Amino acid sequence: MKKLLGVTLGILTAVGGFLDIGDIVTASVTGARFRMSLAWAVLLGVIGIVIFAEMAGRVATVSHRPVFDLVRERVGARLGLANLLASYFINFLTLAAEVAGVSLALQLASDVNYLLWIPLVTFLVWIVIWRVKFETMEQVFGLAGLALIVMAVALWQLHPDWSSLWHSASHPEVTSGEGAPTYFYFGIALFGATMTPYEVFFFSSGAVEEHWQRSDLILNRANVYLGFPLGGALTLSLMAISAVVFAPMNITVEHLSQAALPTVVAVGKIGLALILIGFFAATFSAALETALSSGYTISQYFGWQWGKLVRPKEAARFHVVVLVSLIGAALLALTAIDPVKLTEYTVVLAAAALPLTYFPILVVANDPDFMGDKVNSRLSNALATGYMGILVVVSVATIPLMIATKGGA
Amino acid sequence: MNEHPAGRRLYAALQLLDRQILDADAMMAGKVDDLEFEQPSDGDPYVSTILSGLGALGPRLGGRLGRWLTAVHRRLHPDPEPGPARISFGVVKRVNNHVELTLRRDELENNELEAWAREHVIAHVPGAGHAPE
Amino acid sequence: MRLSDLLEAEVVDRNGDRIGHVHDVRLVQDGPPLGTWGAALRLEGLVVGRGSIGTRLGITRPQMKGPWILKLLFARQRSSRVLVPWDRVRDVGQDRITADCVAAEGHDAFATDDPTPRP
């Protein structure tokens, strides 16, 4: 019984923790602009993250080595350093976007400008990392993120034309008035928002932090196979409610408040409260994860002691990196750079960098010296290799599309 | 040279280089950034020392980036012309997934930056010594 | 002499013909005793081949189970690898190593692979 509770908790945490500012922004923007015709990009992303998160979790559990530790070992010091610089940079931008996201959620709740919230938010993120236990952190914010289920409720309450929504999703086509490059650009954005690399750094480091044993592999699989798709369903709900409310009037989503609007329209005051709690929890937990990931990536490349599993003074360099990254990200957010635009660019860059993160995982997952008898099955190899092909295509297409569409204008 | 050498075979780049070093307390203590060979007067060279830290990684990477890393190492080090941090191979206990040592972290030469970070930043923040809750 | 001096160095034979680049260095544990480690790791030979990515990623090792498409792509690299015994090495220069053998000699470097203990 206790085991079942643990499994359920894990799944719920995965669902609630799935969305971040990237998913919220891209789902609302694309829903308003393309209706459901980019739903396939979310689906593709969910399948991808399920495959690779399971693999990364398995690798971390069996070899007791988290992802970035293995990146250097597998691709060498030079390529590993290039990988580190790219991953850290994207992670840094994501952290700034998440901190801005939390601040925006607080602005929506309080009418106090988001810029004024940034210093407090940064401090809160840091203090939670400094003092709160890993598991507690994950569970509290993961479960609070379940408030976002209100978006699915909102979809129901809006009484949409279901067949029209389904038609839009199952017959993807470039919406009239948009060009094909823009369509695919936003497809890449959605894909990148769903397959975020920091998720994998965090997940695999967490598996090592929490001392996962082989017996936890089933737990890992449950979280990933059930939790992530349900999280993806929430993303699609947000896309759908944006499509229903904004698309008919040709409104583009440019502010976080617009992402919340459909829920408020459909469910009223309770909807507003729940969606604000949900946005806050989603962005705050993502801020925690990306802040920790800044520390994980650099520490794991250089071999420094990392993590919350030891006293801070035993992992001094790790904590200094986390602190400096947080302060830097806050400063970037304080330049009043448009958080929505920042988020859009960041998820697209993250999509371009995906092969860097996932390729070493695939190679190590096949190495019996690390994995013993838990090496990839033929099926997972076939799927994962297929995905690597997709990731490379996406990666190559990103920058040209970004230039061609002027950043999705 | 022996026709059929006895003893275990290892591939230096694949199995030793860039591996995580763990100290006697199983704490992370850097990576194997390079290896140094001893050339005896008779016989083949053998691995005598592990080189670890920025002072070893810089020269290995080479180029402008390598030189910059070496410069950072020199700046943070009390000595004016510090070489790379050395760990004698004699203190290695075992090599499998990691390279395990018989010494503790603070007895190693590559601990400079950690000590600096601890003394100058972390020690000033309340709660640095608390076990995680 | 450091490992980094050997890795990626070009290897030429006594005629000046290129054999390849050093991908890896094979060590055997039968050197003089060192501290608590035991017998030191003696330099047995250089693993020399063309190209380098596959070896570095460990895809070309015999016990790697897949993915089969990558093994396929790097198969040619694997067959072109040779082990140049250390006693054939004449000179270790700045980026070039001269070895006392003809380019066609040598055998598959990983033929007598000793896998490291499984977790």
More confident position, A329 or A76: A329
Task: Flag whether B28 is in a domain.
Answer: yes
Contact flag C37-B90 (C-beta cutoff 8 Å): yes
Q: pLDDT of A34-45, one tens digit each?
A: 989 999 999 999
| Interface residues of chain C, partner chain B, Cβ below 8 Å | 1-4, 7, 23-32, 34-37, 39-44, 47, 55-56, 58, 61, 85-87, 112-114, 116-117, 119
pLDDT at A33 over 70: yes
Nearest to A369 among C57, C67, C115 (CB): C115
pLDDT at A179 over 90: no
Predicted local confidence at residue A219, as pLDDT: 80
Task: Name the residue range of residue B113's domain.
Answer: 12-124
More confident position, C73 or C62: C73
Contacts of A127 in chain B (CB under 8 A): none
Contact flag B20-A69 (C-beta cutoff 8 Å): yes
Pairing between β-strand C18-28 and β-strand C42-49 as defined by DSSP bridges: antiparallel
Predicted local confidence at residue C58, as pLDDT: 52
Average pLDDT, chain A: 89
Q: How far is A311 from chain B (nearest CA, A)?
A: 5
Interface B:C, Cβ pairs < 8 A: 129
Q: Enumerate residues 42 to 61 of chain A having a beta carbon within 8 A of any beta carbon in chain C.
A: none
What total of structural domains would you count in chain B? 1
pLDDT cut 70: percent of chain C above it: 59
Task: Flag whether B120 is in a domain.
Answer: yes
Predicted local confidence at residue C83, as pLDDT: 87
Identify the residue whose tokens are 């001392």.
A211
Task: Flag whether B89 is in a domain.
Answer: yes
Contacts of B12 in chain C (CB under 8 A): 3, 24-27, 41
Contact flag A80-B27 (C-beta cutoff 8 Å): no
Mean pLDDT of B76-102: 88
pLDDT at C108 over 90: no
Contact flag B46-C31 (C-beta cutoff 8 Å): yes
* Count of beta carbons in the 10 Å neighbourhood of residue A270: 12
Q: pTM for the whole thing?
A: 0.89
Contact flag C43-B44 (C-beta cutoff 8 Å): yes
Question: What is the DSSP-derived secondary structure letter of residue C59?
Answer: T
Task: Flag whether B69 is in a domain.
Answer: yes
- In a mutational test of the A interface, the residue from C2, C57, C63, C110 whose CB has the highest number of chain A CBs within 10 Å is C57
Pairing between β-strand B99-101 and β-strand B20-22 as defined by DSSP bridges: parallel
Q: Are B23 and B104 in contact (CB under 8 A)?
A: yes
Contact flag C114-B13 (C-beta cutoff 8 Å): no
Task: Flag whether B113 is in a domain.
Answer: yes
Contacts of C95 in chain B (CB under 8 A): none
pLDDT at B115 over 60: yes
> What ipTM score was computed for the predicted complex, to two decimals?
0.90
Helix (H) or strand (E) holding B113: helix B112-120
Q: Which residue of B has its CA nearest to C22?
A: B13
Highest mean pLDDT among A94-98, A160-164, A171-175, B14-18: A94-98
pLDDT at A290 over 70: yes
User: What gap in Å lies between CA A237 and CA A257, rounded to an integer?
Assistant: 17
Helices A316-334, A67-110: inter-axial angle, 10-degree rounding: 40
pLDDT at A340 over 60: yes
Any idea which fold C3-50+81-99 has? SH3 type barrels. (2.30.30)
What are the structure tokens assigned to A238, written together?
A: 């947000």
Q: A341, A42, A322: which is closest to A205 by C-alpha?
A: A322
HSE value, Cβ hemisphere, 13 Å, CA-based, for A315: 29
Q: How far is B75 from chain C (nearest CA, A)?
A: 23
User: What gap in Å lies between CA A368 and CA A400, rounded to an integer?
Assistant: 39
Q: How remote is the C-alpha of A321 from its chain's centroid?
A: 21
